């Protein structure tokens, strides 16, 4: 993994200790040796969100730190997946999420496989929205440092959103069949924004 953390710290006249202090101020516990391992690309934090926190405290884009596009995509994908799962679980616990309620009304809640599809759909929908926010915030084109130059690349969140959209469409086939079996005397919710 190509990581430019040490270079960015040098440009900002900062040490690992300085970065550690900034992260600790945000409640993130990390030591200098961990930061050194992350910086060398020898180790990746278990919680990939730490990369976003490091980028935020250094006031740079994550792409400036993780310059290898495949590594960047893998990290963003894992963050999005985890966020989606957490968001969905939070909504599930509250039991007031309309999408979750609508999907639950379509299935046999005693069948684990059908419950798993609801959970997966909620997670994917949350991920789709998160990626959309990323695209709106960073734009369709991002600038990635490459050696001494900067390259323009398509925002990797776009490709990830297309992949998530394909998975949502596939799951929609299952829920559409369930909708056909339900009585038609109720108002249908429009979830098409997740499956465009």
Q: Average pLDDT for residues 171-188, to the nearest whole number? A: 78
Q: Average pLDDT for residues 89-111, to the nearest whole number? A: 69
* CATH class as words, domain 1-67: mainly alpha
Q: Judge whether residue 194 has pLDDT over 80.
A: no
Q: Judge whether residue 181 has pLDDT over 90.
A: no
At 91 the pLDDT is: 43
Name the E strands within 26-91. Answer: none
At 100 the pLDDT is: 81
Query: Between residues 25 and 78, which one has the greater pLDDT?
Result: 25
Measuring CA to CA, how many Å separate 189 from each of 102, 133, 180? 8, 23, 14
Q: With beta carbons less than 8 A apart as the criterion, state whether 41 and 35 touch.
A: no
Return mean pLDDT, the chain.
81
The pair of structure tokens assigned to 33 is 């040796």
At 96 the pLDDT is: 40
At 84 the pLDDT is: 54
Q: Judge whether residue 163 has pLDDT over 60.
A: yes
The pair of structure tokens assigned to 193 is 């924004």
What confidence tier does 174 reach under pLDDT thresholds 50, 70, 90?
Answer: very high
Q: How far apart are CA 186 and CA 105, in angstroms?
A: 11
Biggest distance spanned by C-alpha atoms of the chain: 67
What confidence tier does 173 reach under pLDDT thresholds 50, 70, 90?
Answer: very high
> Could you tell me the pTM of the whole model?
0.46
CATH 1.10.260.40 boundaries in the chain: 1-67
Q: Judge whether residue 187 has pLDDT over 60.
A: no
């Amino acid at each position: 993994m190509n990581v430019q953390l040490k270079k960015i710290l040098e440009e900002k006249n900062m040490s690992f200790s300085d970065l550690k202090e900034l992260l600790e101020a945000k409640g993130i516990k990390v030591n200098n040796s961990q930061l050194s391992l992350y910086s060398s690309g020898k180790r990746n934090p278990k919680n990939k969100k730490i990369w976003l926190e490091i980028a935020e405290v250094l006031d740079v884009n994550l792409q400036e730190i993780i310059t290898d596009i495949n590594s960047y995509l893998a990290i963003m994908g894992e963050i999005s997946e985890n966020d989606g799962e957490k968001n969905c679980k939070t909504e599930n616990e509250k039991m007031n999420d309309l999408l979750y309620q609508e999907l639950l009304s379509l299935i046999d809640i005693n069948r684990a496989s059908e419950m798993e599809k609801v959970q997966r759909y909620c997670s994917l929908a949350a991920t789709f929205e998160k990626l959309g926010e990323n695209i709106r915030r960073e734009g369709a084109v991002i600038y990635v440092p490459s050696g001494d130059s900067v390259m323009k690349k398509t925002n990797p969140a776009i490709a990830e959103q297309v992949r998530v959209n394909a998975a949502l469409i596939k799951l929609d086939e299952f829920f559409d069949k369930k909708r056909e079996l339900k009585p038609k005397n109720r108002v249908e919710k429009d979830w098409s924004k997740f499956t465009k």
